């Protein structure tokens, strides 16, 4: 249980509702900042102004999936008020407090570091990334269906990178009856892909393998789908780039050549906010309870 633990939520989207519910069920004292438009706050949850004073009692601050932008702006679908997280907010936190987010930009990292406040990026955790790969793969499949006039079954699909997202996606495509090629750079990934029944190839040979592709999914956060590769893929092909912005595709050249290429960020929050929220909620609940057991929170 989280009895007596003060938690401040700042902004967010539908995912945050799952987190609020879970932590409130665990008896944390939850204060919501930037939730003016939330019609039915949960019982026992208090809405409060977004101010440094509001942070002064917090044991934990929970920010949205992308903590803030590089000027401190925190996104919220629950208010029209502009929420800007400043150095003053972080300075007001008790020294033992922790700030939790999905991923942090340099600004947030820097203001937390300035005051020696621990910042935890949940999406960096393997367990969260693996669970998140499920709605991500489903979202990628949804986009493929919406943007093609052929079935995934029987298609020549390609997944670049078989990390946490790529592996789930490749397996899901295979389950739908696609012929799946996977582009990797390490022999152990090549071996794993072969063991799982994919057709592996090394990324250095991408140009040659791209020639017959119908669906190309990239999960590598580096420029891999270059103009040279795009020049070699059929016009009917669809590129879906899942890697974090700016993706790993030369979108300018794809447009010029008339090959459809889509950058698809934030799919879990778009296609399955409830599931994505539960993934965050479960992990946060475990982390906060572990802190509580270890006596790090007073
Ligand atoms: P991951 O587990 O680290 O996998 C990344 C894969 O890319 C690994 O197989 C890695 O292989 C490969 N890779 C990285 N840099 C490379 C390079 N320069 N050249 C060749 N291969 C390289 O990461 P993940 O969790 O699957 O996430 C992948 C990307 O998707 C990230 O950018 C993440 O932010 C994004 N993402 C997007 C969504 C969405 O909704 N669109 C959802 C979740 C994640 P090695 O082991 O050889 O390095």
Between the CA of 163 and the centroid of ligand 1 the distance, in Å, is 6
What is the model's pLDDT at position 249? Answer: 98
The answer to whether residue 207 scores a pLDDT higher than 70 is yes
pLDDT digit string (tens) for 56-81?
Answer: 999 999 999 988 999 999 999 999 99
Cβ 82 vs Cβ 72: under 8 Å: no
Between the CA of 15 and the centroid of ligand 1 the distance, in Å, is 23
What CATH class has 6-124+273-293?
alpha beta
Between the CA of 242 and the centroid of ligand 1 the distance, in Å, is 9
pTM: 0.90
Mean pLDDT value of segment 208-227? 97
Nearest-CA residue for atom 5 of ligand 1: 163
Nearest-CA residue for atom 13 of ligand 1: 220
How many whole angstroms separate alpha carbon 248 and alpha carbon 128?
Answer: 23
Nearest-CA residue for atom 14 of ligand 1: 220
Give yes or no for a cis peptide into 113 (omega within 30° of 0): no
The answer to whether residue 296 scores a pLDDT higher than 70 is no
The helix/strand/coil state of 263 is strand
Q: Where are the chain's structural domains? A: 6-124+273-293, 128-265
CA atoms 87, 93, 94, 98: torsion sign: negative
For ligand 1, which residues put their CB under 6 angstroms from it?
Answer: 129, 132, 136, 161-166, 185-186, 203, 219-222, 242-244, 264-268
What are the phi and psi torsion angles at 147 (to 5°)?
Answer: -115, 15
Q: Which of 277, 226, 231, 230 is nearest to 247 (CA)?
A: 226
Between the CA of 243 and the centroid of ligand 1 the distance, in Å, is 6
- Let me know if domain 128-265 sits in CATH 3.40.50.1100: no
Atom of ligand 1 nearest to the CA of 162: 9
pLDDT digit string (tens) for 50-60?
Answer: 999 999 999 99
pLDDT digit string (tens) for 82-120?
Answer: 999 999 999 999 999 999 999 999 999 999 999 999 999
Query: 298: pLDDT confidence band, cut at 50, 70 and 90?
Result: very low
What is the model's pLDDT at position 41? Answer: 66
Which H/E stretch holds residue 119?
strand 118-121
Q: How many CB atoms lie within 10 A of CB 70?
A: 10
H-state helical runs in 147-262: 164-175, 187-195, 206-209, 227-230, 251-257
């Amino acid at each position: 249980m989280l009895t007596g633990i003060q938690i401040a939520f700042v902004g967010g989207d539908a995912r945050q509702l799952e987190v609020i519910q879970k932590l409130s069920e665990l008896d944390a004292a939850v204060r919501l900042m930037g939730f003016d438009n939330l019609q039915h706050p949960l019982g026992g949850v208090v809405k409060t102004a977004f101010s440094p004073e509001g942070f002064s009692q917090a044991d934990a601050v929970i920010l949205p999936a992308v903590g803030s932008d590089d000027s401190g702006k925190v996104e919220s679908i629950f208010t029209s008020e502009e929420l800007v997280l400043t150095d003053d907010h972080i300075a007001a936190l008790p020294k033992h407090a922790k700030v939790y987010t999905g991923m942090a930009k340099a600004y947030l990292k820097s203001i937390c570091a300035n005051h020696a406040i621990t910042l935890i990026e949940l999406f960096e955790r393997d367990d969260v990334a693996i669970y998140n790969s499920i709605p991500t793969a489903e979202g990628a499949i949804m986009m493929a269906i919406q943007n093609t006039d052929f079935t995934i079954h029987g298609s020549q699909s390609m997944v670049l990178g078989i990390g946490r997202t790529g592996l789930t996606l490749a397996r899901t495509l295979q389950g739908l009856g696609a012929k799946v090629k996977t582009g990797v750079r390490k022999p152990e990934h090549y071996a794993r892909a072969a063991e799982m029944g994919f057709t592996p190839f090394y990324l250095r040979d991408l140009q040659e393998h791209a020639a017959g592709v119908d669906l190309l999914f990239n999960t590598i956060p580096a420029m891999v789908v270059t103009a040279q590769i795009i020049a070699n893929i059929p016009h009917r092909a669809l590129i879906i780039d899942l890697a974090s912005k700016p993706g790993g595709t030369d979108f300018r050249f794809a447009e010029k050549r008339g090959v459809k290429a889509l950058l698809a960020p934030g799919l879990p929050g778009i296609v399955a906010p409830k599931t994505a929220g539960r993934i965050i909620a479960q992990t946060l609940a475990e982390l906060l309870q572990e802190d509580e057991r270890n006596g790090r929170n007073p």
